[in-house]
């Protein structure tokens, strides 16, 4: 398994793009409640690809796993330190935890099936995956202004069907509506706040932008700024500014052991 100098697994180098990540990618309470509902009465949880600590329930005993030095350094106290390991090779014995969480991370894994297999191996109960459905990304207004970003995102996110197959057992998939003032700044979080994506830091906190090059970013900024100034964006999408939630690509995939098969 290849690693960057920062230790990041997968295709994105968080030593370069991860600076300031925690400032823009703060956990959204609506999503956290959905995760807590999914883990149920679990007492221990492994957070795989834990990043800067988003969505780690403070009511559980959490073991965090994060290979990136930069992301581990952004974990605030009293959040627990993270184990330096990758999803595909977890350093825990079988059935160590009541539940597992993987939020906005499976698209970074170099081997999805291996990572999901490891998550299931070390977990007695639900494995909860917060991710985006690549088939739904093109509905965002961002596709008009930076189609390369959407194409990159769609090519990196695994399909919901592949995640479900990798989890095995009994799997449920739930669409999570995105609130207007979503505090977790993935691209669709700004569906009604386009000005936010004129901030280079906000774009950097979405790893797809690191793959498209500065020319795409410059064109995006110029076109979006011009359309905001002229009112063109609002003529097309202004209704989104007052839309309380957006049904986009966000999905919560939960895999539970099939007790009938003992797995």
Residue 131: per-residue pLDDT: 97
- Report the alpha-carbon distance of residue 261 to residue 243 in Å, rounded: 45
Contacts of 97 (CB under 8 A, 6+ apart): 42, 44, 45, 46, 63, 122, 123, 124
Q: Tens-digit pLDDT profile for the chain (263 aa)?
A: 444 454 445 555 444 444 566 788 899 999 999 999 999 999 999 999 988 788 888 899 999 999 888 788 877 765 667 899 999 999 999 999 999 999 999 998 999 999 999 999 999 999 999 999 999 999 999 999 999 999 999 999 999 999 999 999 999 999 999 999 999 999 999 999 999 999 999 998 898 998 998 999 999 999 999 999 999 999 999 999 999 999 999 999 999 997 654 45
Beta 178-179 vs 245-246: how paired, if at all?
Answer: antiparallel
**How many C-beta atoms surround the C-beta of residue 173 within 10 A?**
15
Q: Tell me the CA distances in angstroms from 40 to 3, 44, 99, 178, one per residue in order.
A: 34, 11, 9, 22
- Report the alpha-carbon distance of residue 30 to residue 255 in Å, rounded: 20
Is cis: bond before 78, omega within 30 of 0? yes
Query: What's the number of CA atoms in the CB half-sphere (13 Å) around residue 93?
Result: 1
Residue 8: per-residue pLDDT: 45
pTM of the model: 0.87
Measure CA 229 to chain center: 31
Q: Tell me the CA distances in angstroms from 208 to 81, 185, 253, one per residue in order.
A: 27, 13, 22
Domains of the chain, earliest start first: 14-256 (3.40.50.150)
Nearest CA among 232, 148, 130 for reference residue 186 = 130
Residue 117: per-residue pLDDT: 97
């Amino acid at each position: 398994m290849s690693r960057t100098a920062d230790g990041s697994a997968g295709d994105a180098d968080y030593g370069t793009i991860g600076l300031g990540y925690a400032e823009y990618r703060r956990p959204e309470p609506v999503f956290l409640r959905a995760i807590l509902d999914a883990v149920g009465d679990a007492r221990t949880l492994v957070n795989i690809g834990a990043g800067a600590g988003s969505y780690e329930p403070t009511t559980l005993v959490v073991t965090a796993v994060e290979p990136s030095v930069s992301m581990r350094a952004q974990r605030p106290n009293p959040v627990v330190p993270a184990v330096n390991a990758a999803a595909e090779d977890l350093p825990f014995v079988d059935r160590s935890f009541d539940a597992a969480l993987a939020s906005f991370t499976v698209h970074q894994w170099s081997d999805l099936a291996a990572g999901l297999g490891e998550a299931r191996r070390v977990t007695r109960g639900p494995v909860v995956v917060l991710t985006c459905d690549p088939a739904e990304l093109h509905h965002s207004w961002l596709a008009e202004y930076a189609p390369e970003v959407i194409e990159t995102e769609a090519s990196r996110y695994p399909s919901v069907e592949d995640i479900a197959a990798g989890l095995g057992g009994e799997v449920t998939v739930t669409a999570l509506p995105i609130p207007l003032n979503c505090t977790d700044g993935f691209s669709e979080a700004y569906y009604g706040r386009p000005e936010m994506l004129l901030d280079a830091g906000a774009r950097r906190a979405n790893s797809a932008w690191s793959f498209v090059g500065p020319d795409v970013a410059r064109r995006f900024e110029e076109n979006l700024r011009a359309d905001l100034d002229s009112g063109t964006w609002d003529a097309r999408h202004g209704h989104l500014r007052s839309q309380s939630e957006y049904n986009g690509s966000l999905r919560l995939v939960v895999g539970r052991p099939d007790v009938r098969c003992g797995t």
